[in-house]
Structure 1
Amino acid sequence: MAKSFIAGRRGITGYLEVPERDLLRKLFADVITMLEPDTPAHEDPLAALLGLDMDVSVPSDPALLRLLPDAVKDDAGAALEFRQLTERSLRESKIGALRAASLDLDKDKLVLDPEAAKMWSMALNDVRLVLAERLDIRDETDADRVHRVQDWGDADDVESYLSLVYNFVSWLQESLVQAVLARMKSGR
């Protein structure tokens, strides 16, 4: 069973069993797949170097839209222009965090330095955003519905299984955030 992250002299440590690591590895890979753009064959090398993506559009998948929301509301033109200028780098930073966290899953005991803790926090947050969209979590009532599912033996459909996964990832992220805060308070 996973142990919560704790702050210590060596960094932030946590423990995950093999099935938990396998689950996280799969979740990270799924979100990476969502975030990887379809790169056109005629891509302008200068635009790629500058991080521009003039062929970008608003994602049709609501979960991907939650990961890559419009930065400007009520002005579709400005929102698209901002997306063209920033989406590539946003995707790359999210994918980088997910890959970095995934690499740490090769060992039972995790020891995270501040940068690794940041990558893990980003990766877990992106997984939670996707799961929240798939579970249609919009407010506290929806969150309470999801949190009521507590036992893996009760997971008899996709929604209850996703609820348990969401609860696990939420607990893990909360544990990580608390350890980061404790480390900051102690001045380490």
Structure 2
Amino acid sequence: MTGRRVSLELTLLEAAHLSNLLAQFEEVVSAGDARDPAVRRLVPDAYRDDADAAAEFRRLTQDDILERRLTDAGVVRASLRRDGRDLDPAELDRTQAEDALVVELTPEVAGAWLRTLAALRLVLAERLGVTGEDHDDDGDPRFGVYEWVGYRLDVLVRALDD
């Protein structure tokens, strides 16, 4: 990652919805329920061929990994706040919803964004049953959210590569 700042532009409506998604993500991560497939996807097995070693590694690392995920999500949510408050989609009128929010990302904050968008996409994929590149959305509108998070992740990666 470069040592320079990058700007990320979202509409206020996008920022508000992302903030809401992050709050839900934080709830899942905070619960830390190892039986939840989404949590398991965030903390994958280190040893696929050795269940005992995988369980021990998970026991030793899961709390730290999930704490890092929460910290990163908090950094992203903080960068989306307007006047110190989380944006709420219900509080935006049509004109406000289309206003731009430009988020200036330092290299450290950009790292938190990358990790959080990737982790959020993993949780969404688990909830939607996405296991590979090809998936059938069956008209489920949540797939639009999944694709949008992927799009935002791609935009950020490209901005950082420039």
Q: TM-score, normalised by structure 1?
A: 0.69
Structure 2: any 5+ residue segments left out of the alignment? 83-100
Query: Higher mean Cα deviation, 133-142 or 103-112?
Result: 133-142
Does the 8 A contact of 1:10 with 1:111 survive in 2? no
Q: Among 71, 79, 85, which residue is 1:104 paired with?
A: 79
Query: What are the within-5 Å matches in structure 2 for residues 159-174 of structure 1?
Result: 160-174=140-154
Question: Who wins on radius of gyration, i.e. which is larger?
Answer: 1
Cα RMSD after superposing both structures = 2.0
Q: Among 27, 30, 33, which residue is 1:33 paired with?
A: 27
What SS does the corresponding residue of 2:140 show, helix, strand or coil?
A: helix
Shift >4 Å, 4+ stretches: none
Q: Which residue of 2 aligns with 1:74?
A: 49
Structure 1: any 5+ residue segments left out of the alignment? 1-8, 39-57, 147-156, 183-188
What SS does the corresponding residue of 1:34 show, helix, strand or coil?
A: helix
Deviation at 1:14, TM superposition (A): 1.5
For these two proteins, the number of residue pairs brought into alignment is: 142
Q: Distance in 2 between matches of 1:140 and 1:76?
A: 27
Q: Among 100, 113, 135, which residue is 2:128 paired with?
A: 135
* Residues 139-178 of structure 1: CA deviation (Å, up to 9, x unaligned): 2321xx34xxxxxxxxxx9x62211101111110000001
What SS does the corresponding residue of 1:121 show, helix, strand or coil?
A: helix
**Residues 1:13 and 2:10 are matched in the alignment:** no
Does the 8 A contact of 1:97 with 1:119 survive in 2? yes
| Bigger relative contact order, structure 1 or 2 (CA pairs below 8 A, ≥6 apart) | 2
Q: Distance in 2 between matches of 1:84 and 1:62?
A: 16
Q: Which residue of 2 aligns with 1:116?
A: 109
Which amino acid in the other structure matches residue 64 of structure 2?
S
What SS does the corresponding residue of 1:160 show, helix, strand or coil?
A: coil
**Residues 1:22 and 2:16 are matched in the alignment:** yes
Does the 8 A contact of 1:14 with 1:109 survive in 2? yes
Q: Distance in 2 between matches of 1:138 and 1:37?
A: 23
* Residues 109-150 of structure 1: CA deviation (Å, up to 9, x unaligned): 1000111100000110111001111221122321xx34xxxx
Query: Higher mean Cα deviation, 108-117 or 70-79?
Result: 70-79
Q: Distance in 1 between matches of 2:76 and 2:41?
A: 20
Q: Distance in 2 between matches of 1:162 and 1:181?
A: 29
Q: Distance in 2 between matches of 1:166 and 1:34?
A: 17
Q: Distance in 1 between matches of 2:4 and 2:107?
A: 11
